[in-house]
Structure 1
Amino acid sequence: MSVLLTTSLAGCAMPGSHLSVSDKHQTETNEEEKSIDQLVNVHLLKPSNISSFKQAEVAAQSNPELDAALTRYEYRVGPGDILNVTIWDHPELTIPAGSYRSSSESGNWVHADGTIFYPYIGTVSVEGKTVTEIRDDIAKRLARFIETPQVDVNIAAFRSQKTYITGEVNKPGKQAITNIPLTLLDAVNHAGGLAENADWRNVALTRNGVEQSVSLHALMQRGDLTQNRLLQPGDIVHVPRNDSQKVFVMGEVNDPQLLKIDRAGMSLTEALSAVGGINELEADATGVFVIRSEQRKQEGQKEQKGQGEQREQREQSGEQEQKIASIYQLDIKDASALVLGTEFELQPYDIVYVTAAPITRWNRVIRQLLPTITGFNELTEGALRVKTWP
């Protein structure tokens, strides 16, 4: 009878999807495979050490370097700009704007070669010069025709230099660089401010092909003026979406789900609250874990060395194998320990996992075995009835 049962079960298709790798080709490496237990660090969150895991607060501070740059800032003319040149007491050399013409329509257009034409003196090179330098040049050359000319030069339209604000702002697009210095904060405000889904902690500023990360959270929320920048022509400011600002809450909670970290951040207690708390009937309150990957890409790293070279350097320096993750454990058997969770800030791609109580795991095993045991008993009883049938 047992042989018949085994044969019957073996011939039945198992429910659900299945993927077997035993009969497939598996790649091999020469490296010694280590247990994941050896590559993970575990930290207990306790009142005595919770402060060591708290992220450093951003302090408000001034930016003397930016202040100095703003003080010495001067706009330099480029192709496409329109200049207004006025020669006092010589109206014949000054083109009047008139009642129906704006200054930009009647001014001197800077040509693609960086020059303008002016009566008597001809072609004047203006590209890359300030209005003061252009005024001095024109006055010096006009002195051959006019005694002590009084020259004034101003820019009627700024069209040669632009910066670009893209991503999660309310009015993305280009912004002109003018004679008024344009800072990062000014550009964001001119773009209508941040959109609802903006990730203001990881704003990218690209200048001459080099990208740097700027935190608008530190600038706008904490008053860290060192995060502000004086924008230059061609700069690209990109405010990304907060799609990467997510954490995963799984295990024995009432509503497992993916959560997004908002602009104010998210603590462990906030994450547990957002999913309805732990399942009081099945969760192990001593096993609230935060699993955090230790692999981080270095910002601005352009040169990447081969794995073999990195391994050789680690062996020479005696550096231990890098851990792949850190696990932070919080025991909330006493509910007052949740206050510790308010001090533990979650980071993007953290995994919050609540384990099941031992009795819960045992009950689940029993629930899986019961259908098989019941079916086996029914088959056995049926076989006995057939055997004893007269």
Structure 2
Amino acid sequence: MYCFSDNKMRKPQRFLSYIYTIATRSFLVFFLVLGGCGQAYFPIQLNGISRSERTANQENTEVVIIPMTLETAKKANLEYYKRRVVKAGNLREPAKILPVSEAMQEFLPKQNDPGPYIMGIGDVISFTTFDKNNEDVTVLLTRDLVVKEDGYLYISPIGRIKAVGLSQLQLEDQIYQKFLEEDYGIDFELAITGFNSKNIIMISQKDGPTKIPYLSRPIYLDELLSSSNIKTVPGSDIRIKILRGDNKYVVSMLNLFEKSRKKIRLFPNDKIFIEPLNYRKEHVLIVGETGAQRSTQINSIERQTLSDTLFGSPVLNTVTSDFSQIYVLRKNKKIFNAYHLDITDPTRINFASKFEMRPDDVIFVATQPLSLYSRTLNQILGSTGLTLQARDTLKAELR
């Protein structure tokens, strides 16, 4: 049996440690060399074209840097707040994003007089006759007559009279001629008291179809909507569509109640559709050194500012965010205006509270240069740490 001394046992271990140290340092140098060539880190990516080809095929947009001051913020706030409407009712075609001006193209009815009422089946007529008895006293007899399914009225003593398709004046002429033919010298008068053959249908997404009885007095659109408790949400509009025979009219509810707007009278058998505009939700994108990249919602009523967006939620990181490089990117035709804010001087934060956000603005926060260096170093040292861990594991196995 051979016995080895403790010193003899340690020599191979020292040799292995020396080999692992050289390998680790060589790996680190190799990593740094490849890092300079852009090959040290391999992200998950599609195997398609090369990185240079991908970059060449991207669209490049001109960016104009504008310092954010009170004057430039005031000028930027003059830009129209563009709301858009989503038209997505037809599932067989893609949704359309339309400006409000296109989604709400008014077409108002020019004719505001429905003309004489034309009688139909089910209408009720109050018929009064004036006759004299044997004592030469005028006797009034009033009765309600209903237009039957065949379109006729029955009037005693002259019999059946066709009423469907006639106005009140035309029906009076028919009855008068019938009295003359039958040689009855009776005075009479009639009035339409039940407009049962005609009505107005109002259809809304909330309540569905509602039947509105037609009346002898004029019915106006604004009065009908008010009595039906149809209201707009602040900052939004409702598209009112009127189908009248073969014609279609479109009215904005906001414009309907203007004092200068002529009142719109409703006709018999009008169909009114209440269609609230499907506004697209408005967002601002927040990217860069902001933790998670995200979007935040804004609206045309509250008019959130850059200050609300930056400080209303944890966006800026006091360690890694570069407070001297905060940008608001806003599309201006074919270029982007980049409003630059540097809040290393705290007094400039006031500019952020004056700058209103607009839909599709992009807030970009740059990264501190030291943070970029630190992350690169952490990735390198992290890879080195994995190598050292593998060395220690192998040494433990060889013992």
Match of 2:279 among 235, 240, 244: 244
Displacement, 1:236?
2.9
The Cα offsets for residues 89-116 of structure 1, whole Å up to 9 and x where unpaired, read as 37999454xxxxxxxxxx2222344332
Match of 2:384 among 352, 377, 380: 377
For residue 232 of structure 1, what is the aligned residue in structure 2? Answer: 267
Structure 2 counterparts to residues 338-377 of structure 1, below 5 A: 339=354, 341=356, 350-355=359-364, 357-359=365-367, 363=371, 367=375, 372-377=379-384
Provide the rounded CA distance (Å) in 1 between the counterparts of 2:384 and 2:371.
20
Structure 2 counterparts to residues 20-169 of structure 1, below 5 A: 36-37=59-60, 47=74, 51=78, 53=80, 69-70=112-113, 73-89=115-131, 94=141, 96=143, 107-145=144-182, 149-167=186-204
* Paired residue secondary structure (1:129): coil
Displacement, 1:329?
6.1
The Cα offsets for residues 213-248 of structure 1, whole Å up to 9 and x where unpaired, read as 32112223x44525x533334433222345535212
- The answer (yes or no) to whether the contact 1:79–1:127 under 8 Å persists in 2 is yes
Provide the rounded CA distance (Å) in 1 between the counterparts of 2:63 and 2:198.
52
Provide the rounded CA distance (Å) in 2 between the counterparts of 1:235 and 1:272.
50
- The answer (yes or no) to whether the contact 1:288–1:353 under 8 Å persists in 2 is yes
Call closer, same or farther: CA 1:246–1:237 in 2, change over 3 Å. Answer: farther
- The answer (yes or no) to whether the contact 1:164–1:235 under 8 Å persists in 2 is yes
Call closer, same or farther: CA 1:133–1:328 in 2, change over 3 Å. Answer: farther
* Paired residue secondary structure (2:181): coil
- The answer (yes or no) to whether the contact 1:93–1:119 under 8 Å persists in 2 is no
The Cα offsets for residues 13-33 of structure 1, whole Å up to 9 and x where unpaired, read as x99xx895959xxxxxxxxxx
For residue 216 of structure 2, what is the aligned residue in structure 1? Answer: 179
- The answer (yes or no) to whether the contact 2:118–2:165 under 8 Å persists in 1 is yes
The Cα offsets for residues 318-375 of structure 1, whole Å up to 9 and x where unpaired, read as xxxxx8x99676666654475563xx8x6xxx434322x22269947965x5664343
Displacement, 1:165?
1.9
1:84 maps to a residue whose letter is: S
Call closer, same or farther: CA 1:365–1:280 in 2, change over 3 Å. Answer: same
Provide the rounded CA distance (Å) in 1 between the counterparts of 2:167 and 2:374.
84
Displacement, 1:376?
0.5
- The answer (yes or no) to whether the contact 1:115–1:125 under 8 Å persists in 2 is yes
* Paired residue secondary structure (1:213): strand
Provide the rounded CA distance (Å) in 2 between the counterparts of 1:172 and 1:197.
25
Provide the rounded CA distance (Å) in 2 between the counterparts of 1:158 and 1:122.
23
Gaps of 5+ in 1: 7-13, 24-33, 59-64, 97-106, 293-322
For residue 328 of structure 2, what is the aligned residue in structure 1? Answer: 288
Call closer, same or farther: CA 1:213–1:289 in 2, change over 3 Å. Answer: farther
- The answer (yes or no) to whether the contact 1:184–1:230 under 8 Å persists in 2 is yes
- The answer (yes or no) to whether the contact 1:73–1:181 under 8 Å persists in 2 is no
> TM-score, normalising length from structure 2?
0.56
Provide the rounded CA distance (Å) in 2 between the counterparts of 1:187 and 1:245.
29
Displacement, 1:290?
5.3
Q: Based on CA coordinates, which of the two structures has the bigger radius of gyration?
A: 2
1:351 maps to a residue whose letter is: D
Q: How many residues were matched structurally?
A: 308
Matched, 1:269 2:277: no
Provide the rounded CA distance (Å) in 2 between the counterparts of 1:271 and 1:164.
47
1:176 maps to a residue whose letter is: P
Call closer, same or farther: CA 1:201–1:332 in 2, change over 3 Å. Answer: farther
Gaps of 5+ in 2: 1-22, 31-41, 50-56, 67-71, 83-100, 102-107, 133-137, 343-347
Displacement, 1:164?
2.1
Provide the rounded CA distance (Å) in 1 between the counterparts of 2:246 and 2:307.
42
Displacement, 1:284?
8.0
- The answer (yes or no) to whether the contact 1:168–1:198 under 8 Å persists in 2 is no
* Paired residue secondary structure (1:142): helix
Call closer, same or farther: CA 1:379–1:68 in 2, change over 3 Å. Answer: closer
For residue 303 of structure 1, what is the aligned residue in structure 2? Answer: none
For residue 105 of structure 2, what is the aligned residue in structure 1? Answer: none
Identity across matched positions, percent: 15
